[in-house]
Structure 1
Amino acid sequence: MNQEIKKFIQQWQYLGIVIFLAVLAAGFLFYYSITTENWLDWDSTINHQISPQTARWLDGVIVDSTKARLKPFAVMLENHVESRPVAGLEQASIVYESIVEGDITRFLAVFDQNVEVKKIGPVRSARPFFVELAQEWNPVYFHAGGSAEALAMLKKSEMYNINEISADGIYFWRDTSRAAPHNLFTSADQIRRAIQAKEIDPAAEFSPWQFKNDDVPNTSATGVTDIEVNFSSNGFYQVRYEYDPDNNNYTRYLGGKLHKTESGIILKAKNVIVQHVDYDIVDDYGRLAVDLDGSGPAEMYFDGNVVQGSWQRINGRTYFYDKFENQVSLNRGTTWVEIVFN
């Protein structure tokens, strides 16, 4: 009986020693945690795990710093009445719109390299002034052929171009549900496949525009709620933007209707720029020579306001200025540039 009692006491002594050592270790850890910088500092640990955020060069949108300076890709997109609706345009960061021949307009859409879009098109041919605009962003330029002058420019250009009417046709496909020639498409995945296959440096090489945060709530709007862009007397190509103060953006209308893409998404813009340029008709087909050099008048619309100013092309890059010659800071997000002929 005495042996059992003695054994019982010894077991409790051992347990007591274990508990004492555990408490001592816990106390040591607690003391160390409050006297050692950043030890078990969960906020610090989380901050080290999250990459810093910064403005994307292309459109000012705040992104992971590792994704801020990527080479964009640009695609020539059709806007012929028979080609509508366009696909993928809602994902573009920068869109240029201009008459290409006669009264028909065409788009040059510039996309961030990380964008996810399964269908982009219809893809159409290049023109010299669209090549000039594309070169400002040094993108990977996707197109389907082009005028003789445009193709000659592309041969001399340092800009990578992927032409469907060549061995690069593997990066495009025809949508058999649409009538040719308005049925050529590509995708972001196909474009990234081309960039990888051709071992193109993914880093951006262009001078970015200036961007700012939205002025929200907007109490200083000048009442410019509608923007009309009349490329010609053809109503099918007339453009209008309507300011939405709740979202501080502009809803786009084309031919008197809401402009929707193939997926049913209504096109919107954070900034609308109207750039006035000189031009000449160079052949019987109606092809154009558009003067994008030098400078000219421009109106910049954002935050429900209009800034009357100018555009200037400096070292191959177009910038926009107010009447005091200050470079305009645009809102972060999508910008549409409407190239209007004088």
Structure 2
Amino acid sequence: MATADADRPALSVKIDNQIDARPQFGIDRADIVFEELVEGGLTRYVAVWHSDVPARVGPVRSIRPMDPDIAGPLGGIIAYSGGQSRFVAMMKKTELHNAIHGGKDDRFMFRTDKRRAPHNVILQADDVVTNYDSLDAPSAQFRYSPEGWAPLFGRASDGVDIVFSQASERNWRWSADAGVYARSQAGVADRVDDGTRITAENVVVLEVDIDGRYGHIPKTVMVDEGQGWVSTGGSVMKVTWEKTSRDARIVLRNAAGSEVRLTPGNTWVELMPKSGSIDVL
């Protein structure tokens, strides 16, 4: 698929991050990746492709209760491998087209013999986007600087260390030469299946509440407000964040109340529980 077709819909996919699912396929080419806490202290991703859709992405996993609030503002397509019926029903109430493994869009998914089930469902991403290209294109989810690095009136920073739980530590390190942040998990370089290091132009960490109404399945509270940190261009700034409804985008503001602009490029959003921690270097 051609790069930067602005009229096509966004494709959001629930991506596995269990150790048997790594390295993932195509996540390095996502425009936005949201990392969320799931059961057992592990994390999963909602990865969003629009400007550069790979042929294949995955491994694809099941939906969780916060995912409608994450994907709702994006519109377009949400692909996942099923989930509890109550969570699937919640997602189907959004305006997104639900592409579910085992459903009518199963023709766009297959199981690779390179992984063990259930960590082996792969989505033919470009094919599913082409098939539903009549869906609306997404609106911008963040504000971006018109050119070059976004001016942050914060402080110089080498990166951030983020702890979701005892089982999940994330590390981002700024590379001035490459102009990006390089990602590690528990101190090990994070890569995709072809060996490419996962990097980001922007790393946004949002401190979030966890709703325990679903028992052992944590729900990240997205329709809320709180504090956060934006890292871009080698600088970090403390911010506040707000999301007013399921279908509203996340708004980041500085201490003066102005909306923060990010560097043009890909963004990782770390939805860090308040029980976790961040160390700004």
* TM-score normalised by L of structure 1: 0.74
User: In the alignment, what sits opposite 2:238?
Assistant: 308
Task: Find the residue that maps to 2:223 and give its secondary structure.
Answer: coil
For 1:242 and 1:325, the matched residues in 2 are separated by: 28
Residue of structure 1 equivalent to 2:148: 214
Task: Give the C-alpha shift of residue 192 in structure 1.
Answer: 2.5
Contact residue 158 and residue 174 of structure 2 kept, 8 A: yes
User: Do the aligned partners of 2:159 and 2:231 also contact (CA within 8 Å) in 1?
Assistant: no
Alignment of 1:59-70 (within 5 A): 67-70=5-8
Q: CA deviation at 1:193?
A: 4.2
**Equivalence for 1:233:** 166
What is the RMSD computed on CA atoms of the aligned residues? 2.2
> Shift of residue 144 of structure 1?
0.6
Alignment of 1:266-305 (within 5 A): 266-284=197-215, 286-305=216-235
Rounded to whole Å, the distance in 2 between the matches of 1:103 and 1:326 is 34
Which one of 247, 265, 279 corresponds to residue 333 of structure 1? 265
Residue of structure 1 in register with 2:120 after alignment: 183
Q: Structure 1 residue 221: deviation in Å?
A: 8.0
The one-letter code of the counterpart of 2:194 is: S
Q: Specify which of 128, 145, 156 is matched with residue 82 of structure 2.
A: 145
Quote how far apart the aligned CAs of 1:69 are.
Answer: 4.4
Q: Which residues of structure 2 form unaligned runs of 5+?
A: 275-281
Q: In structure 1, what is the Cα distance between the partners aligned to 2:211 and 2:158?
A: 33
Structure 2 letter corresponding to 1:87: F
Matched with 1:37 is: none
Kindly tell me the number of residue pairs found equivalent between the two proteins. Answer: 269
Inter-partner Cα distance in structure 2 for 1:91 and 1:178: 21
- Are the counterparts in 2 of residues 115 and 188 from structure 1 also a CA contact under 8 Å? no
Partners of 2:19 and 2:138 in 1: how far apart?
Answer: 35
Contact 1:252–1:268 (CA under 8 A) maintained in structure 2: yes
Deviations 1:225-251 (Å, cap 9, x if unpaired)? 0210101112xx311000011222101
Which of the two has greater strand per residue? 2
Q: Alignment partner of 2:118: what SS?
A: coil
Aligned with 1:191: secondary structure?
helix
Partner of 1:83: 21
Q: Which has the higher contact order (CA 8 A, sep 6+)?
A: 2
- What is the distance in 2 between the residues matched to 1:290 and 1:208? 19
**How far apart, CA to CA, are the structure 2 residues paired with 1:336 and 1:290?**
16
Correspondent of 2:45 among 97, 107, 114 = 107
Bigger Rg over Cα: 1
| Residue 168 of structure 1 pairs with residue 102 of structure 2 | no
* Cα distance change of structure 1 residues 226 and 215 upon mapping to structure 2, 3 Å threshold: same
CA deviation digits over 1:274-315, x for unaligned, max 9? Answer: 01111122345x112222113100111111111111111135
CA-to-partner distance for each residue in 1:191-240, whole Å, 9 max, x for gaps? Answer: 224315xxx32x32435421112349x9x883310210101112xx3110
Q: Is the 8 A contact 1:295 1:311 kept in 2?
A: yes
TM-superposed deviation, 1:124: 0.3
What is aligned with 2:279? none
Q: Cα deviation per residue 1:56-91 (whole Å; 9 max; x = unaligned)? A: xxxxxxx87xx3343211111000011111111011
Distance 2:132 2:83 in 1: 21
SS at match of 1:124: coil
TM-score when scaled to structure 2? 0.89
Letter in 2 for 1:329: R
> Which of 182, 188, 197 is residue 257 of structure 1 equivalent to?
188
The CA deviation string for residues 107-156 of structure 1, in whole angstroms up to 9 with x for no partner, is 110001x5242321100001121221011211311111022332111232
